[in-house]
Amino acid sequence: MKVMILVGSADATSHSLGLGKAIEAKLKALGATVEFINLVEYGLPLYDRRIERAESQDETTKVFLQKSLEMDAFVWLTPIYHNSFSSMLKNALDWHHSTKFPGKVVGLASNGGHRSPQAVDQLMIVARSQGLVTIPTRICTDESDYNEQFEITDNNIIERVDRFSHELVDFVNKHTVAS
């Protein structure tokens, strides 16, 4: 099983990145192959519909789109900016505009806003537009859930990462059997 984790934080090190690393470790322990993309370092250009229509994407974007097509599942992870998800993640999802993923699975996670679910609620709508199936368990953290090295310290969140990861794997396995 192949899973792409997209981390949409504008910081090279962040709580969102720490959460992504925790999810990555759990998914790998469950046997998944993980493509971890820290978008601030990945270098996707700003989405441009003219480039998409002309199919003249740069090499980074072409590779991103090809890898995305090969995935069985995604994890979209964002900090909460202005009660919403980040523009960095939005840009990556905009590049997915013409690439739909009917029936593929996505897990949603965020950090900030006192564990507010606003960003993941909004991402659920985006997932529906791409034909993705969202898993029921979502992870919403806040900085108090981490230590100074951005590692999760809250036991409830650690248990939630475990449940989230198992659920993502189970949904993909059930979908693969059903397809």
Query: pLDDT (tens digit, 9 = 90+) per residue, 51-92?
Result: 989 989 999 999 999 999 999 999 999 999 999 999 999 999
Which stretches does DSSP call E strand in the chain?
A: 2-7, 33-38, 73-79, 105-111, 133-134, 139-141
- pLDDT of 106 > 70? The answer is yes
**Residue 14, domain extent:** 2-178
Provide the mean pLDDT of the chain.
94
Name the pLDDT band for 177 (thresholds 50, 70, 90).
Answer: low
How much is the pLDDT for 98? 76
Query: Considering the entire predicted model, what is its pTM?
Result: 0.96
Between CA 88 and CA 78 the distance in angstroms is 9
Query: What total of structural domains would you count in the chain?
Result: 1
How many other C-beta atoms are found inside a 10 Å radius of the C-beta of residue 20?
25
The CATH number that applies at residue 42 is: 3.40.50.360
Cα angle, residue 13 at apex, residues 7 and 17 outer, rounded to 5°: 30
